[in-house]
Chains A and B, each alone.
Chain A
């Protein structure tokens, strides 16, 4: 696994070097390689598909524009996510509040079953298959809305760790914060999410 990760890292470095030499195919490979992950992370942070598409595009345009300034002190992967997260932060700040649909908007008839399943899973892992639960559109909707209710800093760190699967060191690099800050912020974010979920499932 570690070897595979190393290879990915080396590939990125090679692709970045080729991009700098004007190789557009290398650039396309980098975009294709990361576009889904960037879009997915931004979507979870900003909560709107159109905004996520626009911010993803903006992220890659910025990456291309500033490719020369990438010194390789961090990995391309964390640098890319740093740009994506910064753009998402700015986007969130521009909006006073993320437009969220109330979980009650659909009524108990629409979300009742999902809420029950989700509540049961959080209380006891034996009652449901987590994989199938995570594919349930209503459960996804509830989780997404709960994420949207977190503070920006908390939402970002949860997305990077629990959804994108970044290590603490990578998160620290991407957010340009200390490792200890990542640890405490993530803990607070998970606790806040837990509270939001409990409220939503009541």
Chain B
């Protein structure tokens, strides 16, 4: 019998509405509906209620949801790669070690002092080459230090992993001003890794000094092209160390940097940089030129292959082995500036 209690009937009616009953149950509910007006009304109410809920308008998500997801992921990316968090962990470790050492010192120092005193009292006096003189009162007056050789004139200076940039004939500073510094920075890191230039690179916070052959830098520039659409401004300062001069180029393009790196010497590079400076200033008013960012945020999110959201999802790329640098070298100092 179906009618053993109201909840059971409700469950059957609810399942009947959704077409979730077996054939036997379906037939039985049908029979019940024909014979019991109360059950029939109950089904009607449930049906009306269900129908109305199903017709409620779908509330659309806020327009900025996609952007906020991206921002949230970028924030997490920063936190995951924040050196500050590493520092705090390292600091905690350091504090623990320091406490441990302090505790050990507190235990060892009195024991050591006691041992020295005991040794002083108990050790037999040696006739030859006495090391201590004891006054009648028992106080230690002097102690002969072991013979020491002359102190070295100069302490050896530890060698740090630095890249010699002094003799680079050509040097450039590239400033990338971007509203997405994390993305641009990750592109830079990836490019440096892919070209195995980490040994030729001195990294700093959002800046990298790379000293290698101009050919390697040209190859690096090919990867760095992806950073340009994410920059609001790009600026290059070319230095000619041999001629002690410099030339600034606003709105520098990757192609122009490649051309500068292809120059045989600093003099011609500076001359070309001067031309670029004039040319870029001239065409500054042309909207399609240079690095003016026109694509909306959503577009780059769609098309950007190097999304910062899940760097671990990206296909792993193997770095190409670094080419030995025998010939002329150039230095490219890249600075990422949040803007």
Q: Which residues of A contact B (CB under 8 A)?
A: 19-25, 27-28, 31-32, 35-40, 43, 49, 52-53, 56-58, 60-61, 64-65, 67-68, 118, 121-122, 125, 130-131, 133-135, 139-140, 143, 158, 161-163, 165, 168, 183-184, 186-188, 190-191, 193-194, 197
Contacts and interface: CB of A to CB of B under 8 A. Distances in A.
Contact of B313 (A21, A57, A135, A186): A21
- Best-buried of B20, B56, B76 by chain A (most CB within 10 Å): B56
Given A39-B60, A57-B69, A168-B20, A186 B305 contact: no
Q: State the majority secondary structure of interface residues on A.
A: helix
28 contacts: A22-B305, A22-B310, A24-B302, A24-B307, A31-B69, A35-B65, A35-B66, A39-B59, A49-B59, A57-B68, A60-B69, A67-B313, A121-B52, A125-B44, A130-B51, A133-B52, A134-B55, A134-B56, A134-B57, A143-B52, A162-B50, A163-B53, A183-B20, A186-B14, A186-B18, A188-B10, A190-B49, A191-B7
Range of interface residues on B (Cβ < 8 Å): 35 or more
A122 B48 contact: yes
A139 B57 CA distance: 11
Given A122-B45, A134-B55, 15 more contacts: A22-B313, A36-B59, A37-B58, A43-B59, A57-B69, A61-B72, A61-B73, A61-B76, A64-B69, A134-B57, A143-B52, A143-B56, A162-B50, A187-B13, A197-B49
B307 A22 contact: yes
B305 A56 contact: no
B23 interface: no
Contacts of B51: 125, 130
Contacts of B305: 22-24
A122 B44 CA distance: 8
B160 interface: no
B314 A22 contact: yes
Given A64-B310, A190-B49, A193-B49, A130 B55 contact: yes
B62 A140 contact: no
Given A28-B301, A61-B72, A162-B53, A35 B45 contact: no
B11 A187 contact: yes
A23 B13 CA distance: 47
Contact of B55 (A131, A186, A193): A131
B98 to A, nearest CB: 36
B268 to A, nearest CB: 41
